[in-house]
Structure 1
């Protein structure tokens, strides 16, 4: 029995029609505004403006020393922004959605969003090379191009994308509103937690929020590629299924015996030895006579003394042209040496 996700999809009823988000004017306006905000943060850090001064004030305030009682809880809470655990949790939920809705779009959308996130955030991280608060070398410096990988915050951007994808794929407007609020609270808390722990500057977190929001707002542009990938996967599955249903014939060695179809006696046997009894007709009788004429004679044993008559399988078949068995010169008729009486109707 097939137990993969495709087999389960085939057994489920047809799902309701799910509307795919489109790149509307409102979404384009939000995308443009977020992109402008993103560039403004990068420029502010590059110019060591007031934003960098605020970074240093928050860092020297050391929130983890001001409120040490919540340190243990926030150490676990920040896991909601780590890429590995969050991707596994959300992938399990979206996998169940794919199973119920007969589509791979939820899983493919998650994969596409994480791929875009890693490409864009990773490029900026290693391109600017900013050091974190614990590795800073000069007070008031932006700590750029120093071999770091802290700007923007990967935890914050990942929390925005991973939990925001649930709202993006919501089936109803009500669910979309609730999931949007939930993802906003989770990503906001993860970003502030990294500032509390001293692992990120405040500007890192702000840029991480903007980076994750850009990914979610730009996903409708990727929807055609996601649809194309889904169609390709299902087409490949159909080809594999069709190929697995083709059973090749067993190979036959040169000069060796060939397989005998069911119901046909093997070479050297008689029609009476076949396990399948065919209806007696003109065509089948002639074929039986031709088969018996070309077969090799076989010795027959006399029936036991206590047996009054021969069983049906030992009787000599009668046809309009006579016996189907060839005559035997050395055969002795039953009951003595008198010649056998011809069968009536022969």
Structure 2
């Protein structure tokens, strides 16, 4: 479907009600500060190899996937709800439909901003701390930090919090926000617990992943002005593009490959051209009754036009005499009153 048809369909849709944009309230600021403190406490507890690291090892050696093997097949599929690719596609499809109905790009732009923040913050901490996972641990009781790993915090858990929590953040009614908050919390908790069951993450990885995702959701109101400016810029570009297309369609095309004279401005008459236009027209010069520009009288010569005949229709003409011009030094008949030249050297 062409983009102009899509825009035309959007223009025919009824205007949606005004969408309330969340602000950074005192409650949200307090939650952000407490979550940040919890985040830093988890990192510090792992760095000093505290009781939290001992708990990680106890659950890892317990091997939940061996204790309840009947859950393994289901949880292998359930953990996909925390993978970035499939969840981003599903949520983007839903938010794209909302953008279509509500005549706004804010849902899609908010999703893009949250995923960008997730990749930057979580990825930087993963690479900076370099913790190894349970399957690659080498020393029992060790925190396995700065060993070239990339599992702290849990990316599946943080992605589940952000991707499904963005639905509750963008909800337009209090009831929808409550239900979507409960649903996203259940999915995020389930994905984190599943990674511990499968043995791909420590418990501390999951705790830090929950905190990382919640920090991103709580900080989104700070990015709302930037999202609004981006949306206004996109719509301005769209309007200018549509205006250029409309002007291009209204311009008449040249017929027969010739340029229309209306496309070129007419020359304004100069003083010299105006003087020439006001002067009387020159009379044509006839035979014997006019003077040429140099002052000499010219006589018109009229040639009688003869019909042109083809070469095949012309009668043959026999040439009379020789076509060569006579030469005085050649031997021939002597002219009267002269004597023939004597031949010498014979």
Q: Answer whether contact 1:5 1:99 (CA < 8 A) is retained.
A: no
Is 1:108 the counterpart of 2:109? The answer is: yes
Is 2:115 aligned against 1:92? Answer: no
Between the aligned partners of 2:25 and 2:258, the Cα distance in structure 1 is: 72
Deviations 1:282-304 (A, max 9, x none): xxxxxxxxxxxxxxxxxxxxxxx
Question: Residue 82 of structure 2 contacts residue 160 of structure 2 at CA under 8 Å; is this kept in 1?
Answer: yes
Aligned CA distance change for structure 1 residues 5 and 159 (closer, same or farther; 3 Å): farther
Say how many residue pairs are matched. 259
| Runs of at least 5 residues in structure 2 that lack an aligned partner in the other structure | 263-346
CA pair 7-119 structure 1, distance change in 2 beyond 3 A: farther
Distance 1:240 1:198 in 2: 53
The residue aligned with 2:186 is 185
Q: CA deviation at 1:249?
A: 5.0
* Deviations 1:63-103, CA, capped at 9 Å, x for gaps: 00000000000000000000000000000100111011110
CA contact (8 A) 1:130 1:151 kept: yes
The 3 A distance-change label for structure 1 pair 180 and 5 is farther
Q: In 1, Cα distance between the equivalents of 2:90 and 2:229?
A: 26
Contact 2:162 2:213 in 1 (8 A): yes
Distance 1:193 1:42 in 2: 21
What is the RMSD computed on CA atoms of the aligned residues? 1.8
| Higher alpha-carbon Rg | 2
Maintained 8 Å contact 2:153/2:208 = yes
Name the CA distance, whole Å, in 1 between partners of 2:95 and 2:8: 17
- 1:8 touches 1:99 (CA, 8 Å); kept in 2? no
CA apart distance, 1:162: 0.2
Alignment of 1:39-78 (within 5 A): 39-78=40-79
Which whole-Å deviations, capped at 9, do the CAs of 1:149-196 have from their partners, x for residues lacking one?
000000000000000000000000011000000000000000000000
Query: Is the CA contact (8 Å cut-off) linking 1:80 and 1:190 kept in structure 2?
Result: yes
Q: Distance in 2 between matches of 1:210 and 1:72?
A: 28
**Residue 233 of structure 2: aligned partner:** 232
Distance (whole Å) between structure 2 residues aligned to residue 20 and residue 84 of structure 1: 27
Preserved contact between residue 130 and residue 149 of structure 2 (Cα < 8 Å): yes
Taking the TM superposition and a 5 Å limit, the aligned residue runs for 1:144-155 are 144-155=145-156
**Distance (whole Å) between structure 2 residues aligned to residue 233 and residue 194 of structure 1:** 40
Distance in 1 of aligned mates of 2:51 and 2:130: 20
Instruction: Say if 1:5 and 1:179 are closer, same or farther in 2 by CA, change over 3 A.
Output: farther
Task: Write the deviation string for residues 108-158 of structure 1: whole angstroms up to 9, x where unpaired.
Answer: 000000000000000000000000000001000000111100000000000
**Deviation string for 1:297-319 (max 9, x for gaps)?**
xxxxxxxxxxxxxxxxxxxxxxx
Q: State the 1:8 CA deviation.
A: 2.8
User: What is the CA–CA distance in structure 1 between the aligned matches of 2:59 and 2:261, rounded to whole Å?
Assistant: 88
Q: Is the 8 A contact 2:254 2:260 kept in 1?
A: no
**2:17 corresponding residue in structure 1:** 16
SS in 1 for 2:209: helix
Judging changes above 3 Å, is the alpha-carbon distance between structure 1 residues 65 and 257 closer, same or farther for their aligned structure 2 residues? closer
Whole-angstrom CA distance in 1 between matches of 2:64 and 2:258: 87
Which stretch shifts more, 244-253 or 153-162?
244-253
Indicate the residue corresponding to 2:209 in structure 1.
208
